[in-house]
Every structure is written in structure tokens, then in C-alpha cells.
Structure 1
Amino acid sequence: MNPIDELRAARPAHLGDTPTDERTRRSELAYAMSHGTPVKRRAKPRLMWGLSLAGAAAAAVTAVAVLTAGTGAGTAPRAPSAVESSAPGELTAQQVLLVAATQAERQPATSGEFWHTRTMGRHLFTAAGGYVMAVKQRDEMWVSANGVWSRSQHLGAEPATDEDRAKWAAAGSPSEVEIPVPGKPRGMRVTIAPGKPHTGHQAGKEVFWLGRNVTLADLKGLPDDEVKLKAWLLRHYEGKSTESDAPMAEDAWLFQVTAGLITDMPVSAKVRGAAFRMLAALPSVTAVGEVTDAEGRSGTAIAFEQESRVNLADDNPGTVQDRLVIDEETGTALGRESVVVKPGGMQAGLEPGMVGSSFAVVRAEWTDSRAS
């Protein structure tokens, strides 16, 4: 029995009848998202949680890092709703995160010359023809103390469901589809066929973004106490989004930044544990329960609900549930998911409960070699 199951079995039955406090869950969640000039950030292509989805569409076209989700033809991807996630007997987000912290702290230390990550992602877009397309992407990074080497590939796009495939076929099965962008006269264009791999290299010591650009040495010096780690991060919080000058509540900012630290960065086992404990103290983080990620792996998800706006001209913003999916056995992150709560903006045309975008962490390890 894994630690999550052990804790679930030991939980007194009467505690499962306690409803989620909706006022707490929804307080301080909404913030305005703009597609303006991004803040200075790390050289490593930013995983775009919280970005306007138009930015993700542009990334899909240019074969840089894209958040993607879904399945191929067949049933559109769906996820448990907030109501389904609060079933009696399920663990709270705080319990899940504290178990994850304990498991994370038990992981052995490793080392190498390069921090290597490989992610797989998919993203759903509603095309101008009214059908939904799933765009696929693969990204790899090798990070050293002196720079970043990257390799990204657009893996193609396909209709998300059989119904979408029929609409696409009726439109002539175009090899490129147009994606409308709210508030902009021109949309984005996404190709159906896979693209060639794109490689890149950027020199420099500031290779990650953690509220500001940071180095590997900065990551090694992070506090391994949750209170001190929170204080360290908040030194760089200015009341704005992680990607633009749009307002962002403190809890939302901490969730975005800390989830990125957990999924993306080579921090020590104790720092990762402190990050989980810090998230456990955020009152607006909720439990989702057991989920299956984009790679078919089972994990436990915690979430933060937020408004998703393409730009300030977008008068029909959507609401999404940003999920962090955790491996129960190791306390490591399997990836992130963005689930549609209220369709709007770039999520217009999607249904509530659909996994609008996701990325799965396939590799996250130290190595002494990198691909040429």
C-alpha cells in the first residue's frame, strides 16, 4: 500500500463528510491575465501555465515549448470536476502535500554535469471551423552552470474527437487550421503534419526562473524550511502575474512559482519537501484526488482555480483549474494539467471538465552527457 492509500485508510470516517468550504476555495483566485510584455525570465523556454492560450498557439506554430493536452481521435479528454473531487473520504490537499513532502525528502541525492528534462504535452484549440484540434509537442532541455541546450518538436495536430474529425473532413481536411484569438484581428495557424526538431543553445548562468532569473547556484542555496522558502520567494513578488504586468494574488503567484520549482528544477530533496509543505499551507489549494496523466500514469492531483484571459481586451475570459499531479510513491511531480471550469477566451468551444492543456514530465534527472 502506498503512503497516500495508508493515510486514506487511516482517516476517521466522519471526517469524510466535511464539505469543502467554497468561500475559502474561491477567495483570492481571480486575477486579470494580459498578453502584454512578459517580465524578464529564465533562458529556458517558459512552461506557459497562466499564460494566455494565444501564446501557446503561437508557440505551437513556431515549435517552441507548448502546453498541450488531450487524446487523439475518440472521446475528448475530461477530468473530475471540483464537485466530483470533494467526495467523502478523500484526502485534503494539505494531507496529500504533507505525504508528498515526506516522500520527497527520502529521495537519494544525485549529481551530474547536466540537468536533463523531457516533457510531452498536448493542447486543445478550437479552430475557426468550430472543431477542436489537439496539438502535440515534445521538449527536452540540458541545463548546466553555463547555459541551456534545447530540442523541441511539433508532433502534429489532429481532431480531438470523432465529431471534430467529421467537421474537419467536411471543411476539406485542411493541412493548416486557423485558431481565432480573442481581441486580435489575426489568429494563429497550426499545421497538421509534424515539424522537424528545432535545437538551440543559450549561454549564461541564469538558466531558471523563480520569481526572477536564477542560477543553479541560487537553487542550491534555497532554504529547506517552508517558512524561509516562502519568504525567499516573496521577496520577488510585486503583485503581478508571473508572465506580465497583470495583477495576481499572492497565493496564485506562489502556486505558479512553486509548482514550477517542483516539476522543473534540480533542487535538493529537502527543498522539494519544503516546497510541498509551503503549498500545504496555502488555504486556496484544493484536492482533486486520483487522476491519470497524459502519459497514462496514475497520480494524485492538487489544484488552484484561476481566471484565464487572453489579453485585457478579452471580454469573455475563461476559468481553469491548474493541477499539479504528484507521484504518490516518490513525492515527485508527474506534470501539470489545466482543466476547463468555465469556457471562455481561448477555451471557448471546450466543455467544462476537459483537460484543455497539460504536460507530462517523462525525464527529470542529472546526467553527464547531452544530445548533440
Structure 2
Amino acid sequence: MNPIEELRAARPAHLGDVPTDERTRRSELAYAMSHDRPTRRRRKPRLAWGLGLAGAAAGVTAVAVLATSTGAGTAPRPPSAAIGSGTPASSTPASSAPVRLSAQQVLLVAATSAERRPPASGRFWHTETFARGLVTTSDGYTMASEQRSEMWVGKNGQWSRGQYLGAEPATPDDRAKWEAAGSPAEVRISMPGKGTRDRRLPLAAGKPYSDHHSGKEVFWLGRNVTLDDLAGLPDDEAGLKAWLLRNYEGKDTESDRPMAEDAWLFQVTAGLITDMPVSAKVRGAAFRMLAALPSVTAVGQVTDGQGRSGTAIAIETESRVSARDADHGILQDRLIIDEAAGVALARESVVVKPGGMQAGLAPGTVWNTATVVRAEWTDSRTS
């Protein structure tokens, strides 16, 4: 099958066989030929969902708020682990003149790649994530904090461990302001929607923690779901979309703030793609479903928190903590993917319009990011 036929075959059937302009055909061909084949927080139980990006804006307490978020202005870290079935995610070098693909094209390539991945199995589904985020202190400067966490999910529940890695001024200017304030060992932060009481954020790293939850409902797809629920998900995009929308109530999954259908589907489906143990066909269907959402756009090539190159697709959403918040901003919710490998690398929230928890941050600032270091089946756990 030649590259154009491959992309045509990847197109969701319900989008129809509409004519493609010559510029798009050239872009598709150039792309195909240039790549080788290849908070601890409880709702009911504690749930593994979407790397906690929505939770970073809601239910935020002292250390926990930044333990689930990440920010910009830091040097990338070298890749350190694998994503999916124990196979390292590829990092295809960018060409000297990269072709800019639409979000739909990127996602359809990712869908085809995901469906080609070999099946894998094990006793436990294991994920490891690194998170970094920004918060503005009550004294007006910005701090960045970091967190690492791991999770194992099996028939007998969920095991997790992690560590808050500490915080530091986000930029040289923030460092100067922090030093002028006496270089405090902990800083005060005001949380919108949580009253006037300030919270405290320590700069020093915390102690490692571990936990075990014995319930079976350990994932979140608009409602609590089990491993068996994930195994039974529809593996076509129309069926998967209908299954997910049964849980849509017109609001965010983490709060009562209103959320449009496309944004809700993007949020929930990005979590499914990123860190849930679904089959290759279901993951492919998830990519195809996102490709059909008209509000999803392509950002282009970016670098994730582990220094890996990927392609970001995104949707805009309000940054309200609750429906009652008058002061709110606009965020771009990004999913960074390695489309050639058919896997997700990271989630990011980027400031479009400052407001609320992002007040004082410049448009374009990466407010938080959660990077997938490892997502795979394994037969052992170390927690």
C-alpha cells in the first residue's frame, strides 16, 4: 500500500471521501516518505486519570497542587524510559524543512501506528510520570515545583508511590524577588475558589510516599471504571464516542465548571490514550475519534519534559476552578504524541488568556505538564 492509500485507509468512514487539495496530498506524501515504519485524592476510590492535569486546577492543597502540575522555562531532561509494551517511544529527527500537518492528519497517522503495535500482557499495568508546574505566590513571583509518581494496577487493586521533588523560582527575575523576600523556605500561595486563606508550599523535597487501594475501580472515564471495563471498550470510533458520552453531563470531570462536548471528549480521551491499558484497536479508535472533533487543532513539533520530540494537538478550555469563578483565563489543553509510534508522550496546559490560577503568567507560558516516562505491562512491581 502506498503512503497516500495508507492515509486514505486510516480516514474514519463517517468523514466521507471528500476531495483533497494538491497541497494536502504533497504534505501527506512528504510526511509518509520521511518516516520509517515502524494528589492523592479520592472521588470514590483514588482514580488514575489523564495524568491529573484537570485535578491540578481543582482540589489543590499546599504541596499537592504543584505535585500534579508542570511549567515552562526549564531545560529538557534526557529520555529515561519506555512507553508502551516496554518499547522506547521513537524520536524521529526533524527534517530541515518539516511538513506541517493538520491535527486530523497527525491523529490518523497515530491511529494507524497504534493499531500496528504488537499485543502485550503482564500481571500489572505500570505507569511512571514526571510533573512540573507553575504557581504565583502571594508576594507576586512565580515558583515551579516537580513531582515523580508511579502506579501499578492489577487484579487486586492499585499500588502507587511517588515523591514531591521540591520547588524553586521559575525565572531569574522570580529568583531575585524571592531573595528580596528573604529566600523563605516555604512560600504562600492564594488559591482561587478556595476562600482567602493562603496555602503553604515548601521548597524542600518531601519524603517518598506509597499507598495501596484494594478496589477494582481505579481509572476514570467520566465515571469510575475497572480493568474489565477498559477491556470491553468499543474498538471503533463511533462506538467509543457513544460509550464515553453516556458519562457526559455538560461539565468538567473534576469540577462543576461548564465544559463543551468536544473539550470534554478531548480531556477524557487524552487520559485514555496516555495512561490506560487499552487494546491497540481501542487506542487507534481513540485517535480517530479525536481526529473527527472540529475544535481540535495542530500545534506542531514540540519537546516534552523528557527532551523528546513529538507533535502536539490541542483544544482550548476555560481555566475555571468552579462554575462560580468570575475571574478565569483560557488554557490550551495539549496532548503531545509520537505519531510514528502511536503513543502519547505528555499532557500540557498552556496559557492563552491569563486569569484565575494563571493570573500574571504571559500568554504562551506552559503552566503545567505531565510527562509519561513509562506505560507498559509488567509481571512485577516494586511498591
Give the TM-score, by structure 1 length: 0.83
Which of 267, 283, 299 aligns to 1:288? It is 299
Q: How many pairs align?
A: 334
Which residue pairs with 2:176 in the alignment? 166
Give the residue type in structure 2 aligned to 1:104.
A
Which residue pairs with 1:61 in the alignment? 63
- Is the contact made by 1:46 and 1:65 (CA closer than 8 Å) also made in structure 2? no
Post-superposition offset of 1:251: 1.0
Which of 219, 224, 227 aligns to 1:208? It is 219
1:150 corresponds to 2:154: no
1:255 corresponds to 2:243: no
Give the residue type in structure 1 aligned to 2:143.
M
Post-superposition offset of 1:218: 1.0
CA distance in 2, matches of 1:224, 1:321: 28
Closer/same/farther in 2, CA of residues 63 and 317 from structure 1, 3 Å limit: closer
Which residue pairs with 2:136 in the alignment? 126
1:108 corresponds to 2:118: yes
CA distance in 2, matches of 1:11, 1:169: 57
- Is the contact made by 2:349 and 2:369 (CA closer than 8 Å) also made in structure 1? yes
Which residue pairs with 1:241 in the alignment? 252
Partner of 1:102, secondary structure, is helix
**Which stretch of structure 1 is more off in the superposition, 99-108 or 62-71?**
62-71
Percent identical residues: 66
Post-superposition offset of 1:45: 6.9
- Is the contact made by 1:16 and 1:89 (CA closer than 8 Å) also made in structure 2? no
Post-superposition offset of 1:40: 4.9
- Is the contact made by 2:230 and 2:277 (CA closer than 8 Å) also made in structure 1? yes
Which residue pairs with 1:321 in the alignment? 332
Post-superposition offset of 1:62: 4.4
Q: Where has structure 1 moved over 6 Å in runs of 4 or more?
A: 14-17
Which of 156, 175, 198 aligns to 2:185? It is 175
- Is the contact made by 2:66 and 2:145 (CA closer than 8 Å) also made in structure 1? no
Which residue pairs with 1:347 in the alignment? 358
- Is the contact made by 1:49 and 1:256 (CA closer than 8 Å) also made in structure 2? no
Q: Give the aligned CA root-mean-square deviation in angstroms.
A: 2.8
- Is the contact made by 1:97 and 1:277 (CA closer than 8 Å) also made in structure 2? yes
Closer/same/farther in 2, CA of residues 182 and 244 from structure 1, 3 Å limit: closer
Give the residue type in structure 2 aligned to 1:326.
I
Post-superposition offset of 1:200: 0.4
Give the TM-score, by structure 2 length: 0.81
Closer/same/farther in 2, CA of residues 11 and 290 from structure 1, 3 Å limit: farther
- Is the contact made by 2:56 and 2:68 (CA closer than 8 Å) also made in structure 1? no
- Is the contact made by 2:56 and 2:66 (CA closer than 8 Å) also made in structure 1? no
Closer/same/farther in 2, CA of residues 195 and 11 from structure 1, 3 Å limit: farther
Closer/same/farther in 2, CA of residues 46 and 203 from structure 1, 3 Å limit: farther
Post-superposition offset of 1:176: 0.3
1:187 corresponds to 2:198: yes
CA distance in 2, matches of 1:355, 1:63: 16
- Is the contact made by 1:117 and 1:142 (CA closer than 8 Å) also made in structure 2? yes
Give the residue type in structure 2 aligned to 1:50.
A
5+ residue gaps in structure 2? Answer: 8-19, 28-40, 77-97
Closer/same/farther in 2, CA of residues 345 and 38 from structure 1, 3 Å limit: farther
**Which stretch of structure 1 is more off in the superposition, 110-119 or 41-50?**
41-50
